[in-house]
């Protein structure tokens, strides 16, 4: 399945119009004999042509500068060529021309009919796009196309494209039609309807088209989608194959929780990495790191605790996990006599208790910070080496640096493998659920400070105590900070509204978006928010009731 085929730059246009039931997108069916995506319904588009960057064409682009185009796409040069290709392909394939005359008047029905004969000559390469635009004195309306998506075809197809998706409102006066050779039919469909028809086997949509339609389905009007696209941060989706628990291959996109782990552990895109989170199975994440999941799944532990083996020769165990015999045996087997150190991120009962059994079997040195005197702690964990913030450990040729990250637990450490910039986060950042901040050992103020700390570190990937590897660490840290501050704002507005509520009254108001069965856990997080606000002098508590502290100005 390995496929080193380079992805060719391409552009595609989502033409939208408003139908009686909501926005509709223009789709074309490719001929069954096409080399790429035969028979599938696609948006108009295609590969960039060298001539799309011809200076004569670029001079005829209105509404967008080259610098703006580069910045929007995140490329150094050549950004505007994607807009040109989008307009050109849209005209060739759908007959809809997003252009205007030199007077600024958009192409209308009569003008479109007059220009229609050029389509086949352009498509066949018998007429240069620059010559067409100059001869007909047309300017491309690049400002009408909003950048909306970025997809890179997964390996395994006959061709691979690195495609920028643009969104445009279909000009009311131009109807659009397929070319009759490469494209054998065309239709306007509501995104949701297209997805449903695909599910019924009535039409074929490929991965990127289907996902893009799903992204569009939430908009009530075409203009809403366009306005969203003008503001939205566009993410690159490098579609990837991986194997599931049954060995079957599936395709993944960026929004899938497995996405970054697949790319990290399968940089050659073989599609053969397995994404099942199975307890006891040693999963090789990269040349230095193997993960074994403990058999302790649950509401607080997700699929179970992640134990990591790290090293090039001798190995460190990071977070040995709960003292479950089968788990200890799996870790020892994967360690194959090379375990020399056991490190804990913190001393909660799902992270450190197996340390003793692993030390007994291997003589490994225990490293971390001792347990604070609070309930729910593994008081038996006795580190022989206590780490301070910034301490470095040499593991053979690798370097691990400790970051003190209190918040979830006062003795919490993250470990940065400096060679690959992987950060082992323990419970400071978890994949798939929100970290519990449980006072008094849990501390919301410290937690936010420890998230800020990550923003100052050069990190490529997070290896959490629960769940998959997490990509884009700084973005994730910023997301978590935003999430907590949004909750804090909700606490403050509920206090303003309710006057002097109790904790029980507050939890209903602040966690109205959380299922009642989770209100017990939410109550602890709420207590953590209130403790932070009290420490900051913004909230006062008296007789189990909470009130806002008025600033002097508010009298
Ligand atoms: Zn924990």
Across the range 117-125, mean pLDDT stands at: 89
Across the range 334-357, mean pLDDT stands at: 97
- What is the CA(352)–ligand 1 centre distance, in A? 10
Residue 316, domain member (yes or no): yes
Across the range 250-256, mean pLDDT stands at: 93
User: For 504, phi and psi rounded to 5 degrees?
Assistant: -65, -40
- What is the CA(422)–ligand 1 centre distance, in A? 20
Residues 91, 170 within the same domain: yes
The number of distinct structural domains making up the chain is: 4
Length of the chain: 555
Residue 157, domain member (yes or no): yes
Q: How far apart are CA 92 and CA 298, in angstroms?
A: 55
Q: 181, exposed or middle or buried, with CB in 10 Å at 0-12, 13-18, 19+?
A: exposed
**pLDDT band for position 182 (cuts 50, 70, 90):** low
- What is the CA(470)–ligand 1 centre distance, in A? 18
Residues 261, 380 within the same domain: no
Residue 401, domain member (yes or no): yes
pLDDT of res. 180: 62
- What is the CA(104)–ligand 1 centre distance, in A? 62
Across the range 125-132, mean pLDDT stands at: 94
Residues 262, 300 within the same domain: no
Residues in Cβ contact with 88 at an 8 Å cutoff, skipping those fewer than 6 apart: 49, 52, 122, 129
Q: Which helix (H) or strand (E) holds 540?
A: strand 539-542
The CATH number of whichever domain residue 547 belongs to comes to 1.10.10.10
- What is the CA(346)–ligand 1 centre distance, in A? 7
**pLDDT band for position 498 (cuts 50, 70, 90):** very high
Q: How far apart are CA 237 and CA 403, in angstroms?
A: 31
Across the range 12-34, mean pLDDT stands at: 89
Place of tokens 């090039």: 312
- What is the CA(282)–ligand 1 centre distance, in A? 22
Residues 306, 264 within the same domain: no
Residues in Cβ contact with 111 at an 8 Å cutoff, skipping those fewer than 6 apart: 101
Residues in Cβ contact with 365 at an 8 Å cutoff, skipping those fewer than 6 apart: 340, 341, 342, 384, 385
Across the range 45-62, mean pLDDT stands at: 94
Residue 493, domain member (yes or no): yes
Residues 297, 353 within the same domain: yes
475: three-class secondary structure by DSSP: helix
- What is the CA(427)–ligand 1 centre distance, in A? 5
Residue 61, domain member (yes or no): yes
For the cut 50, the answer to whether the pLDDT of residue 123 exceeds it is: yes
- What is the CA(347)–ligand 1 centre distance, in A? 7
- What is the CA(85)–ligand 1 centre distance, in A? 52
Residues 440, 516 within the same domain: no
The last residue of one of the domains, among 276, 301, 331, is 276
**pLDDT band for position 32 (cuts 50, 70, 90):** confident
**pLDDT band for position 2 (cuts 50, 70, 90):** very low
pLDDT of res. 555: 44
The last residue of one of the domains, among 439, 471, 503, is 471
Residues 186-217 pLDDT 10s: 889 999 999 999 999 889 998 999 999 999 99
Output 31-38 pairs: Cβ under 8 A, ≥24 positions apart: 31/181, 31/182, 31/183, 31/184, 32/184, 34/182, 35/158, 35/159, 36/157, 36/158, 36/159, 37/157, 37/206
For the cut 80, the answer to whether the pLDDT of residue 181 exceeds it is: no
For the cut 80, the answer to whether the pLDDT of residue 93 exceeds it is: yes
For the cut 60, the answer to whether the pLDDT of residue 554 exceeds it is: no
Q: Is 18 a catalytic residue?
A: no
pLDDT of res. 1: 40
Cis peptide before 440 (omega within 30 of 0): yes
State the catalytic residue, choosing from 49, 215, 319, 350.
Answer: 350
Instruction: Please say whether the dihedral angle defined by the alpha carbons of residues 291, 297, 298 and 303, taken in this order, is positive or negative.
Output: positive
Give, as one character, the DSSP assignment of residue 107.
P
- Name the token pair of 43: 């948006």
Number of Cβ atoms within 10 Å of the Cβ of 33: 9
- Name the token pair of 286: 């990269």
pLDDT of res. 303: 94
Across the range 322-329, mean pLDDT stands at: 98
**pLDDT band for position 36 (cuts 50, 70, 90):** low
Q: How far apart are CA 394 and CA 419, in angstroms?
A: 11
Q: By percentage, how much of the chain surpasses pLDDT 70?
A: 96
Residues 368, 221 within the same domain: no
- Name the token pair of 427: 């419970």
Residue 374, domain member (yes or no): yes
**pLDDT band for position 4 (cuts 50, 70, 90):** low
Residues 352, 498 within the same domain: no
For the cut 90, the answer to whether the pLDDT of residue 533 exceeds it is: yes
For the cut 50, the answer to whether the pLDDT of residue 3 exceeds it is: no
- Counting DSSP H helices and E strands in the chain, the numbers are 16, 28
- What is the CA(514)–ligand 1 centre distance, in A? 21
- What is the CA(429)–ligand 1 centre distance, in A? 10
Across the range 151-156, mean pLDDT stands at: 89
**pLDDT band for position 552 (cuts 50, 70, 90):** low
Residues 146, 75 within the same domain: yes
Residues 130, 21 within the same domain: yes
- What is the CA(399)–ligand 1 centre distance, in A? 24
Q: By percentage, how much of the chain surpasses pLDDT 90?
A: 81
The CATH number of whichever domain residue 434 belongs to comes to 3.60.15.10
- Name the token pair of 421: 């910039």
Q: Find out whether 408 and 427 touch, Cβ atoms under 8 Å.
A: yes
Three-state SS across 140-187?
EEHHHCEEEEEEECCCCCCCCEEEEEEEEECCCCCCCCCCCCCEEEEE
- Name the token pair of 167: 């969104």
pTM of the model: 0.89
Q: Find out whether 346 and 381 touch, Cβ atoms under 8 Å.
A: no
pLDDT of res. 520: 87
Across the range 408-422, mean pLDDT stands at: 98
- What is the CA(455)–ligand 1 centre distance, in A? 21
Region of 510 please: left (phi>0), alpha (psi -120 to 50) or beta. alpha
- Name the token pair of 36: 């790429």
Residues 15, 55 within the same domain: yes
Residue 281, domain member (yes or no): no
The last residue of one of the domains, among 210, 238, 266, is 238
Q: Find out whether 260 and 469 touch, Cβ atoms under 8 Å.
A: yes
Q: How far apart are CA 346 and CA 371, in angstroms?
A: 8
Three-state SS across 396-455?
CCEEEEEEECCCCCCCCEEEEECCCCEEEEECCCCCCCCCCCCCCCCCHHHHHHHHHHHH
pLDDT of res. 157: 74
The CATH number of whichever domain residue 215 belongs to comes to 3.90.79.10
- What is the CA(426)–ligand 1 centre distance, in A? 7
Q: 510, exposed or middle or buried, with CB in 10 Å at 0-12, 13-18, 19+?
A: buried
**Which domain does 418 fall in, by range?**
291-471
Residues 210, 231 within the same domain: yes
Residue 330, domain member (yes or no): yes
């Amino acid at each position: 399945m390995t496929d080193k085929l380079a992805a060719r730059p391409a552009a595609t246009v989502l033409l939208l119009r408003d139908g009686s039931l909501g926005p509709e997108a223009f789709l074309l069916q490719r001929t069954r004999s096409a080399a790429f995506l035969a028979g599938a319904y696609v948006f108009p588009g295609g590969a960039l042509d060298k001539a799309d960057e011809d200076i004569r064409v670029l001079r005829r682009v209105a509404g967008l500068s080259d610098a703006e185009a580069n910045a929007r796409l995140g490329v150094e040069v050549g950004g505007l060529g994607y807009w040109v290709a989008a307009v050109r392909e849209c005209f060739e394939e759908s007959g809809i021309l997003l252009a205007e005359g030199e007077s600024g008047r958009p192409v209308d029905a009569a003008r479109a009919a007059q220009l229609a004969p050029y389509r086949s000559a352009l498509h066949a390469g018998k007429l240069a796009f620059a010559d067409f635009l100059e001869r007909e004195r047309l300017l491309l309306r690049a400002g009408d196309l909003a950048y909306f998506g970025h997809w890179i075809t997964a390996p395994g197809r006959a061709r691979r494209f690195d495609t920028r998706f643009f969104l445009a409102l279909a000009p009311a006066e131009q109807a659009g039609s397929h070319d009759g050779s490469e494209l054998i039919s065309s239709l306007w469909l509501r995104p949701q309807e297209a997805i449903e028809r695909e599910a019924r086997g009535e039409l074929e949509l490929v991965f990127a088209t289907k996902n893009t339609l799903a992204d569009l389905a939430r908009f009530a009007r075409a203009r809403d989608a366009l306005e969203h696209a003008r503001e939205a941060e566009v993410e690159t989706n490098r579609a990837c194959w991986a194997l599931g628990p049954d060995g079957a291959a599936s395709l993944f996109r960026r929004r899938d929780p497995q996405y970054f782990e697949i790319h990290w552990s399968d940089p050659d895109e073989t599609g053969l990495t397995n994404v099942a989170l199975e307890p006891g199975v040693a999963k090789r994440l990269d040349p230095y790191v193997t993960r074994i999941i403990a058999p302790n799944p649950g509401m607080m532990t997700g699929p179970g605790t992640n134990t990591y083996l790290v090293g090039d020769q001798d190995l460190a165990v990071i977070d040995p996990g709960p003292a479950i015999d089968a788990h200890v045996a799996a870790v020892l087997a994967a360690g194959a006599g090379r375990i020399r150190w056991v490190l804990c991120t913190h001393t909660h009962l799902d992270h450190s208790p197996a340390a003793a059994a692993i030390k007994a079997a291997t003589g490994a040195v225990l490293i971390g910070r001792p347990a604070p005197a609070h309930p729910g702690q593994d008081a038996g964990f006795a580190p022989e080496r206590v780490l301070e913030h910034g301490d470095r450990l040499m593991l053979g040729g690798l370097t691990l640096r400790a970051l003190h990250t209190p918040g979830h637990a006062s003795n919490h450490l993250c470990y940065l493998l400096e060679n690959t910039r992987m950060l082992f986060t323990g419970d400071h950042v978890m994949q798939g659920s929100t970290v519990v901040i449980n006072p008094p050992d849990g501390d919301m103020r410290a937690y936010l400070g420890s998230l800020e700390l990550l923003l100052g570190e050069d990190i490529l990937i997070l290896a959490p105590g629960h769940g998959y590897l997490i990509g884009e660490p700084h973005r994730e840290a910023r997301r978590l900070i935003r999430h907590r501050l949004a909750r804090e704002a909700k606490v403050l507005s509920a206090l303003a509204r309710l006057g002097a509520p109790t904790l029980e009254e507050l939890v209903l108001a602040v966690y109205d978006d959380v299922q009642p069965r989770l209100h017990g856990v939410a109550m602890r997080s709420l207590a953590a928010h209130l403790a932070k606000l009290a420490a900051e002098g913004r909230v006062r508590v008296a007789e189990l009731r909470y009130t806002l502290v008025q600033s002097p100005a508010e009298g």
